[in-house]
Structure 1
Amino acid sequence: MIGQDDLYFFREGTHARLYDKLGCQLQAGGGAHFAVWAPNARAVCVIGDWNDWRPGADELHARPDGSGIWEGTVPEAQRGQIYKYRIASSVGDYVVDKADPFAFYAEPAPATGSRVWSLEHHWHDQDWMAKRRAHNALDAPMSIYEMHPGSWRRQDGSFLNYRELAHQLADYVRHMGFTHVELMPVTEHPFYGSWGYQTTGYFAPTCRYGTPQDFMYFVDHLHQCGIGVILDWVPSHFPTDEHGLAYFDGTHLYEHADPRQGFHPEWSSCIFNYGRNEVRSFLVSSGLFWLDRYHIDGLRVDAVASMLYLDYARKDGEWIPNRYGGRENLEAIDFMQILNREVYRSFPDTVTIAEESTAWPNVSRPIEMGGLGFGMKWNMGWMHDDLAYMHEEPVHRRWHHGKMTFSMIYAFNENFVLPLSHDEVVYGKGSLLNKMPGDAWQKLANLRALFGYMWCHPGKKLVFMGGEFGQWREWAHEGELDWGLTHDPGHAGLQRYVAELNRVYRERPALWQIDFHSAGFEWVIADDADHSVFAFLRKARDDAPPLLVVSNMTPVPRSNYRVGVPLPGHWREVLNSDAHDYGGAGWGNMGGLDTDPVRAHGRMHSLNLTLPPLSTLILEHTRHA
């Protein structure tokens, strides 16, 4: 099963499909073949249900090629049985039972064994797969609903399984108009409270919600409903649990031995040794595995900044410089470039997205141009600045006006996603709604105005579950969202507004077709700090007329507010966040208005607008004068 080419690419650090070679592979004639990388072991055996967990009953043998791979066939092994590797290290007397790093399925926590399993599934998403390049392209609309499977909805206090979740989530996401779902990590993790970010099973969807086939059904069903699926994936660190990757064969195999390189002080977890070629092959194979076997449409790569910087979260003297004396992790850079090159070579219709929080250049630029090769990058600067601005009382916003405009200085340096993610609604930060100032009405109005500004700002969109209807409390993984709020008129209005915002967004190429080039955006008013008003144009690639977006970030309605426009004639009010139907006060422009031949903002024609309080308006040119 493991050929010479496999060994070459494994050792080179570029093997992208080790999941077909290592781990437990069921055989057509019965039994299973086991293969595990443990180069510093003196003995390895498989213990499991079929041999009553007796050490030595099914010994594996080290390959004579020096690869460090131990392998063997066990005729008695059957699908569904639980197993581990008993590894006796050549270093000291260390003996440990390890879960299979390549296992496709695990037993429920707190148990830690792997299951003998196979990944057959009859897919029904052929139409989606044939057309998904258009859904995942840089010039496509992308409005992402980030969610945690265990706490979105529950049934009588229990988790929904993948199949139940598939139908309920697809119906909701389609109704709300989101184009993609982003799942917080579903890779197997022993501690539910880690939300999946402490992964032990890099090739196994968590069994908390069902079998691998159940998860395939989940992806399949969402695809049939026209919804893309992005997986949050964590190649930056892994937990120290004894059954996992840490100290795997009695040595620091997957992680660095020196804690200044191999231990993460913030997360109390191990850091992968990206300089070890076999570890790079393991991680690249994990990334490709989800795109290959589960038809996942994209990987959101977690904590990229922690991989890029050797001194990340460390004080002086707590880190080791690279060979040039710098703080850049050169081996991690190589790994990310290898990963992205292989993803886009093998699955060019998918996308990789970096969660990268610093000013590292060219994260989403081609490797040939010195970039990391990601398709997109989270815009953490936009998120921090806009939330800080919105947190201010409106009377003080005039002094913070630049926080809302600053993002346009660098908006086209990367292919950005604008994230309002789970990270912003935990650990005492408050929910999105509670970040807004004022009484309940003003909080909802502020959030509607922010969403409108965000959906029209260049960049793809992401909002965490609950934000779309104004969850009051912080997210808690122990229960479900407060769905009862959707029966309250104000929260139901916000929910309707987000659905309508998604519809307007998807239907108008000016809002997404040129997201990553300055040709798609033009300021009209960027300097009216005294009134906290912003106005800009969004443009499509063809000759379609632009959209005008105007935000009033104070609770003062402004009549006779003149805004210059590029075209004379009638401008229709496409969306008004202050409409009664969304819980607003109902201020507006009677559905649209005609231009006046009055110069304003460097343009020959202008609109005399009424700006509702705490609002965002979207207007489009419908006919010439």
Structure 2
Amino acid sequence: MSRPVEVYSLFTEFDIALFRSGKHFKLYEKLGSHRLTHASKQGVYFAVWAPNAAEVSVVGNFNGWNPRSHQLFPRWDSSGIWEGFIPEVDFGEIYKYHIVSNTGEILQKADPFALRNETAPKTASIVSTTWYEWEDKAWMENREAYNALDKPYAVYELHVGSWARNAEEPERFLNYREVADKLVPYVRDMGFTHVELMPIMEHPYYPSWGYQITGYFAASSRYGDAQDLMYLIESLHRANIGVILDWVPSHFPGDAHGLYRFDGSHLFEHEDPRKGYHPDWKSYIFNYGRDEVRSFLISNAFFWLDRYHIDGLRVDAVASMLYLDYSREAGQWEPNEFGGRENLEAVHFLKELNEAVYGHFPSVQTIAEESTSWPGVSRPTFHNGLGFGMKWMMGWMHDTLNYFKEDPINRKYQHSQMSFATVYGFHENFMLPLSHDEVVYGKHSLIYKMPGDEWQKFANLRALFLYMYTFVGTKLLFMGGEFAQTSEWNVNQSLDWHLTQYAPHRGMQDFVKALNTLYRGQPALYEKGFSPEGFQWVELGDHENSVFAYLRHGHAAEDDILVVLNLTPVLRDYRVGVPVTGDWEVLLNSDDQSFYGSGVEQTNCSAEPIAWMNFEQSIKVKLPPLAGLVLKRV
């Protein structure tokens, strides 16, 4: 049966004006494939942006992949959009765009706006839908109570394909629904407030971990379809757990079916390789100065927040976007118009992105993975910031891990690595990340970064976690760290869940659960997490004993928390100054035997009128070896 392409459009003139000015933020409602009824006929409307094409056809099984059968029409307005309605095509049809460039080059491309793609290594797009009958209204209407910057924010980062697999079928991925049924009760029981999913957009090369994306609007078919992913997100929401997605607007791969040279020209990427090619990742950089590309990227951010009810976007590799000389030697980059190294087009894009996201979705968060001292990453754009809600505190992560790697006998020489973070710790809204990047490529797992014998390794890691949870900023822990996974993360296999049957690992898991309970239950640990008013050093200079003590403050003075860390394997009787008289209760002791500690017990203690550490009163505590105490005035 013949199914000719009919003239039809979802675009208005206003849509086109917005698109061409970089201000259309819901292009997913227009471009791509949309099943609908036109002139009493059901079929699919196709629309694709290919301004340098001489011909564009839709090819698929329905027409024997014949490029002469169903040619799209170019719009009359020079927008570069090709479109048309094909009757009788239905959901599930696979297709590509057959493009003949202005120079005669022939390409077959997946749809940049496809809602689903074939499972790799196949590369065609699939006519699909993101319709879903959501049942997370309570979360969506109240998520600001969980997602605001003055609320507890403890993130469990995971990779869907390697978090868990069935023991009987270790080569098979769990689908999104199977993951949901295991993940949701686990995360809820562990007490994390959010999960962060490493990129789940379609990517052809699985070992890229999802960071080399070809289908920006398609959830990876490796784990199911759109509705399966929505079930996972909905299940998390119904358990009052927020969902953050890793989002990659910094680069994309050069796969033949993807965005690279989409219509035979450098359409999405910058034409100049000094700006358009990423030497580290052998990938291509978006042309942030092109209005239509900004519309594409911001529409993609909106898509996940809108259609998938996502609560936050962690924006990958922001530093690589900000600097023209990122990973480039002299002569490999060109200064901006003012002679500087800043990528002004990328800066403009990031500001516009955050303004648009927070303007339309005020209860979400954007989080920058940014590793330099660029000022104001998490400050409002009207204060000349980039407008992100939070920024990963990479300096804290590096300094802290370097300190804890040291043999305790040498830590007194590295004392400042633990204290230096407060020098700059309030310049941004910082998130403390112990992420996937720290447990791959020979860096060792967290537990094997720690020095000493088995007991000391676990004691050190518990002390590190206690320090992270009681320090300023929000928290992020990569999967496996919570039970002290011993091997490095391997994307091709499940976490070693069997380890949790052993006391040291089970104790670590219980300790992280206790930390999440502490963090969520004590306002002093989160209400002023980005303000110098929320943190006060009590003991900063005792490098000989490697002891640190600090206070955390919330809005109410009675909520104050005292933290004391002893980062040597020596039991100490130690006097600590306190701001008020009365009894002090031990809320958490990382050396507790239930956590595989040595069981040195510190009971509640009373302040004495002995001036100490700039306070008029003090308490005397028994500091367990390689451990931390968290205390609160009763």
TM-score in terms of structure 1 length: 0.98
Identity of aligned residues (%): 56
- Kept in 1: contact 2:112–2:259 (CA 8 A): yes
Amino acid corresponding to residue 510 of structure 1 in structure 2: A
Equivalent residue for 1:118?
Answer: 129
Match of 1:94 among 83, 95, 105: 105
Give me the whole-angstrom Cα distance separating, in 2, the residues matched to 1:570 and 1:203: 56
Equivalent residue for 2:7?
Answer: none
Match of 1:317 among 328, 331, 341: 331
Matches within 5 A, 1:318-467: 318-467=332-481
Match of 1:27 among 36, 39, 44: 36
How far the C-alpha of 1:167 sits from its partner, in A, is 1.6
Match of 2:576 among 563, 582, 594: 563
Amino acid corresponding to residue 147 of structure 1 in structure 2: L
Give me the whole-angstrom Cα distance separating, in 2, the residues matched to 1:523 and 1:572: 19
- Kept in 2: contact 1:301–1:352 (CA 8 A): yes
Match of 1:272 among 251, 274, 286: 286
Secondary structure of the corresponding residue to residue 159 of structure 1: coil
Secondary structure of the corresponding residue to residue 185 of structure 2: helix
| 2:23 equivalent to 1:14 | yes
How many residue pairs get matched? 619
Amino acid corresponding to residue 568 of structure 1 in structure 2: T
Equivalent residue for 1:43?
Answer: 55
- Kept in 2: contact 1:50–1:76 (CA 8 A): no
How far the C-alpha of 1:137 sits from its partner, in A, is 0.4
| 2:614 equivalent to 1:602 | yes
Cα deviation code 1:429-481 (max 9, x no counterpart): 00001100001110000000000011000000000000000011100001000
| 2:585 equivalent to 1:576 | no
Amino acid corresponding to residue 15 of structure 2 in structure 1: D
Could you say what the CA RMSD is over the residues aligned between the two structures, in angstroms? Answer: 0.7
Give me the whole-angstrom Cα distance separating, in 2, the residues matched to 1:112 and 1:97: 10
| 2:309 equivalent to 1:298 | no
Give me the whole-angstrom Cα distance separating, in 1, the residues matched to 2:71 and 2:122: 23
Give me the whole-angstrom Cα distance separating, in 2, the residues matched to 1:181 and 1:98: 33
Equivalent residue for 1:72?
Answer: 84
Match of 2:221 among 182, 202, 207: 207
Amino acid corresponding to residue 177 of structure 2 in structure 1: R
Could you tell me which runs of 5 or more consecutive residues in structure 1 were left unpaired when the two chains were aligned.
none
Equivalent residue for 2:5?
Answer: none
How far the C-alpha of 1:298 sits from its partner, in A, is 0.2
- Kept in 1: contact 2:523–2:559 (CA 8 A): no
How far the C-alpha of 1:6 sits from its partner, in A, is 1.0
Amino acid corresponding to residue 14 of structure 1 in structure 2: K
Matches within 5 A, 1:523-562: 523-559=537-573, 561-562=574-575
Give me the whole-angstrom Cα distance separating, in 2, the residues matched to 1:324 and 1:16: 30
- Kept in 2: contact 1:411–1:458 (CA 8 A): yes
Matches within 5 A, 1:117-266: 117-155=128-166, 156-157=169-170, 158-266=172-280
Give me the whole-angstrom Cα distance separating, in 2, the residues matched to 1:434 and 1:526: 27
Secondary structure of the corresponding residue to residue 162 of structure 2: coil
Question: Aligned in 2, Cα 1:470/1:188: closer, same or farther, shift over 3 Å?
Answer: same
How far the C-alpha of 1:30 sits from its partner, in A, is 1.2
- Kept in 1: contact 2:558–2:633 (CA 8 A): no
Give me the whole-angstrom Cα distance separating, in 1, the residues matched to 2:467 and 2:433: 13
- Kept in 2: contact 1:89–1:95 (CA 8 A): yes
How far the C-alpha of 1:542 sits from its partner, in A, is 2.5
Give me the whole-angstrom Cα distance separating, in 2, the residues matched to 1:545 and 1:130: 29
Give me the whole-angstrom Cα distance separating, in 1, the residues matched to 2:583 and 2:558: 15
Cα deviation code 1:586-617 (max 9, x no counterpart): 11312x11111111001111011100000011
Amino acid corresponding to residue 431 of structure 1 in structure 2: S
- Kept in 2: contact 1:468–1:494 (CA 8 A): yes
Amino acid corresponding to residue 106 of structure 1 in structure 2: N
Equivalent residue for 1:3?
Answer: 12
Secondary structure of the corresponding residue to residue 544 of structure 1: helix
Amino acid corresponding to residue 156 of structure 2 in structure 1: Y
How far the C-alpha of 1:223 sits from its partner, in A, is 0.3
Give me the whole-angstrom Cα distance separating, in 2, the residues matched to 1:76 and 1:249: 27
Give me the whole-angstrom Cα distance separating, in 1, the residues matched to 2:601 and 2:434: 28
Cα deviation code 1:157-197 (max 9, x no counterpart): 12111001112101100010000000000010001100000
Give me the whole-angstrom Cα distance separating, in 2, the residues matched to 1:39 and 1:504: 56
